[in-house]
Amino acid sequence: MADDILNLTKQLISIPSVAGNPDALLQALKVAEDHLGGHDFTSFSSNNNPSIFYSNKDKDLKKFKVILNAHLDVVPGEKEQFAPYEKDGKLYGRGAYDMKSSAAVMIALFKEIASKVPYALGLELTTDEERGGVDGTKYQIEQGIRAEFALVGEGTRFRIINESKSIIDLKITAKGHSAHSAYPWLGENAILKIHEAISKILELYPVPEEETPETTVSIVKIETTNVAHNIIPDNCTAYLNCRYIKKDKDTIIPRIQSMLPAGVTLEVLYRDLPYQSNPESSYLASLRKSAEEVLNRDVLLATAHGTSDARYFRNADCDAVEFGPVGYNHHADEEWVDIKSLEAYYKILKKFLLSIK
């Protein structure tokens, strides 16, 4: 089984299933379909983003005890990152950790035990999580898919993520007055206004020197339409990605607004709520027990800095957690997953699913 999972992971990694490559997204789903031949599934599509859902019971069933959730899309990478390779017990490649290895484990596990468990078990495979998950998991939930407990296979290094920070994407725009750059006193430089705004925001939300449970604000893009080297720019825009905790949900936007100098405006581009699963959930307790028995150590509950499709389940009153294998460098160069951890991950999920009555 370990070799099958490793080979399936490599097969998935080799597919450049990024946004803007619809053929590759469909190809990744086709690999799953071929591996699960004989199991019925339902196809979904929203805004040309495909996803599929497997049920071990009636194909049209909408309510499940447990849903295994994985996404097969990845962030863009260099060509060589889609050529998986092994080194020192690690499998390298784009999506190795986030999260084609987890998807491979879930696919292999569903194939083995779907007919063995007495309850309704679902497997959800999507292709748009890296772009927000709106047309995958969220769309399927809008079509009526529900679970008592959803397990999202994001890489967590065997921690159980039962709550997360959430996202606000902000755009701040400065208007100035153009002039010849040899006569800067005749203009009003919009870039300098954005610089002042960013400086004030970073006073309130400085870049952390180490991991922090607090709200963070990252400056992710600055742009101006000015393309000349001898003109004072009359416009500049900056984009902020905020990862906020629950206590800041009503204060973060007013705080940032108060930091902006005259002539700089703020626009909310996207906002979502933090999610928190029930820490007393019997499913969570059973998952934790299964993990501790397989790993022979304590398994921690933790808060995620990033978000996942788990939030869509929680917003639909379905309990959900993130739980996945050991790896590192997701969204970065030399992304890897620990190969031995995939076998442990399989054993944990199998023990967990078979423990449910």
Cα–Cα dist 3/191, whole Å:
55
Residue 214 has a pLDDT of 93
Q: Residues 161, 204: contact at Cβ < 8 Å?
A: no
- pLDDT at residue 180, as a whole number: 96
Question: Rounded to whole angstroms, what are the CA distances from 42 to 39, 52, 61, 63, 170?
Answer: 10, 6, 10, 14, 36
219 Cβ contact partners less than 8 Å away, ≥ 6 residues apart: 198, 201, 202, 238, 239, 240
pLDDT at 41: 95
Structure confidence at residue 305 (pLDDT): 87
Q: How confident is the model at residue 87, as a pLDDT?
A: 97
SS3 for 30? helix
Cα 18 to Cα 25: distance, rounded to the nearest angstrom: 7
| pLDDT at residue 75, rounded to an integer | 96
Contact 27, 112 (CB under 8 A): no
Residue 214 has phi, psi (to 5 degrees) of: -85, 170
Q: How many CB atoms lie within 10 A of CB 306?
A: 15
User: 168 has which bridge partners?
Assistant: 242, 271
CA-CA distance, 83 to 7, in Å (whole number)?
13
Q: Rounded distance, CA 81 to CA 138, Å?
A: 29
- Sign of the torsion angle spanned by Cα atoms 11, 14, 16, 22: negative
Length in residues, the chain: 357
**Residue 128 has which token pair?**
């748009």
Structure tokens at 349: 């999920």
C-alpha 165, offset from chain centre: 12
For residue 202, the one-letter residue type is L
Helix (H, G, I), strand (E, B) or coil at 330: coil
Which pLDDT does position 222 carry in this prediction? 98
Q: Return the residue matching tokens 């996404």.
A: 71
Q: Quickly count: other Cβ atoms within 10 Å of residue 230's Cβ.
A: 8
Residue matched to tokens 């879930």: 106
DSSP state of 138: H
Give me the tens of pLDDT residue by residue for the chain, a chain 357 residues long: 789 999 999 999 999 999 989 999 999 999 999 999 989 899 999 999 999 999 999 888 999 999 999 999 999 999 999 999 999 999 999 999 999 999 999 999 999 999 999 999 999 999 999 998 999 999 999 999 999 999 999 999 999 999 888 899 999 999 999 999 999 999 999 999 999 999 999 999 999 999 998 999 999 999 999 999 999 999 999 999 999 988 898 999 999 999 999 999 999 999 887 678 888 899 999 999 999 999 999 999 998 888 899 999 988 889 999 999 999 999 999 999 999 999 999 999 999 999 998
**Which SS3 state, helix, strand or coil, does residue 151 take?**
strand
Q: Phi and psi at residue 257, in whole multiples of 5°? A: -55, -40
Say what the pLDDT of residue 152 is.
Answer: 97
Give the pLDDT score at 279.
83
Cα–Cα distance for residue pair 327/334, rounded to 1 Å: 11
- 2-164+275-355 — its CATH code? 3.40.630.10
Distance CA 43, CA 286 (A): 31
**Do 113 and 352 touch, CB atoms closer than 8 A?**
no
CATH number of 172-271: 3.30.70.360
Alpha-carbon gap, residue 271 to 99, rounded angstroms: 24
Instruction: Strand 90-92: give its sheet, edge to edge.
Output: 85-87, 90-92, 336-338, 327-328
Count Cα neighbours of 301 within 13 Å in the Cβ-side half-sphere.
Answer: 16
Q: What does the pLDDT look like over 80-138, one tens digit per residue? A: 999 999 999 999 999 999 999 999 999 999 999 999 999 999 999 999 999 989 999 99
With a pLDDT cut of 70, the percent of the chain lying above it is 99
Tokens standing for residue 77: 């990478």
Where do the domains of the chain lie? 2-164+275-355, 172-271
